[in-house]
Amino acid sequence: MENLLWRIIFAFFLAYLSQVMTESVTSDMLLNYEDIVRLTGEKSIILIDVRQPHELQETGVLPTSINIPLNNLKTALESLSSEEFQKKYGIPLPDKNAPLVFTCRSGNRSMKALLTALELGFKDAKHYAGGYLDWEKNKGLSEKKEKH
């Protein structure tokens, strides 16, 4: 009985923690396929794919994205010097006002990346809610439309 009580308390704690963490996320921070196509076409965002490198090799990448695996993200944005960041990721270290957009496979890790960026003080961070799976699905649909 005591074990069950602790499980219930823990479940409520996790639910509360999840709610507190996502309260800072607003609907304008959640991007869809059309947003990504438009913003990457305008070259007005820094698109960061937080998947592991082997996942990118297996599936492919979103155009213009750079890869910073989720487990390296906080260190990359918080601790690397401008020179180290540029050398490692091929772009200048973003400042706190940079338009960052995070993506992953399905949107779960990119949400964690968004929360990390917000925690670090980035003011214009967003995430692609559908991730690479949504990209592939919509890219296929748009290619079919173009053929007809």
Q: Which residues are catalytic?
A: 104
Q: Answer whether 96's CB lies under 8 Å from 123's CB.
A: yes
Q: How many CA atoms lie within 13 A of 63 on its CB side?
A: 13
**Nearest alpha-carbon partner for 130 in 148, 110, 147:** 110
Strands 30-31 and 125-128: parallel
Residue with tokens 């910073």: 68
The Cα–Cα gap between 68 and 51 comes to 7
